[in-house]
Structure 1
Amino acid sequence: MKALLGSLVLLAALAGCSSEDDGSAKDPATRPSEPGDAKVVAIVGGSAAGGDVAQTVTVLDDAGAVRHFLKQFRSPPFASDVRAALQSHPPAEGRVLGAVVMEVSCDIPPSATVAEVDGAYVVTPGKVPAPHPECFAAVTSVAIVDLPAAG
């Protein structure tokens, strides 16, 4: 009985860090009144995907920039998820998309904010209301950001 209970606890913990979730935050909640009209349009998360955490957004203004950004991920399915999120948010005229690995942890932040700081766009992940106390595989969280194109 103890072995069965232990297995169920392990399965429940793994479910919290499962890669079967589509990884998208349910509410990438950004505020349209943010500086420079920059806003987070999607958050993509995936287990054991790797990536380099940064604060500043990488502008993805052409296919080469997208390829270079995606190279950092050791999980091809996760890179495909990020690419799909980029494709599902085509920028309007005068706008460009950017992305940043905002966190590698046990949880996908439910939201993120973006602010312009010294000419760069900085993303801050939102607080996870009920963080997982343990994690068997770190989750990479990428924010997709809609930005004004450089003038």
Structure 2
Amino acid sequence: MDRPGLALVAAFIIAQLVATVISATLSWKLAGIKKIGWGWTGVIWLYNILTYMLLDPIKFGVRYALSGRAWGLMLDQRMAFSNQKNFGKEAREAAWAAEQRTLHGLQSTEAKVPFGRNTYGETSVMAEEAKRRAEIARLREIHTLKGKIESFAKLRGLDIAVHPHYTL
């Protein structure tokens, strides 16, 4: 799915070249290993390259067949075959965060992003941030005097301004 880094590719190529030179030229009598020569080394390289070239199309074909798109099946509509993480929990959290922003009169995130280009990952991050802010607000209401006074005033419908600084 992802391309490997250049350092990994370089390490792989160097290791293969060293192994090729060792197998083609060195004989170790102590271990009972004999050199195979450059002819057999070329045959092995040809075999490896051919199987590698055939393996990727087979891999992509199997992945396409298993995805359901090959037969026009929409497996994502059934929860048992959903490929969403946690059955769409992040999407539900993002919808909740958008609803909370609308309830509190804040600008929706769709208006900020031109043409609705926000990705699933961005909405997931927004949902996590909204959850974190809500948890901080809840803890502040529970554990601080200012929070207790503000929540009491909200419950009673009082319009008071609590001093923003904490004093002892």
Q: Which TM-score band applies after superposition, normalised by the shorter structure?
A: under 0.3
More strand by share: 1
Query: TM-score scaled to structure 1, two decimals?
Result: 0.19
TM, length-normalised to structure 2? 0.18
Structure with larger RCO (C-alpha < 8 A, sep 6+): 1
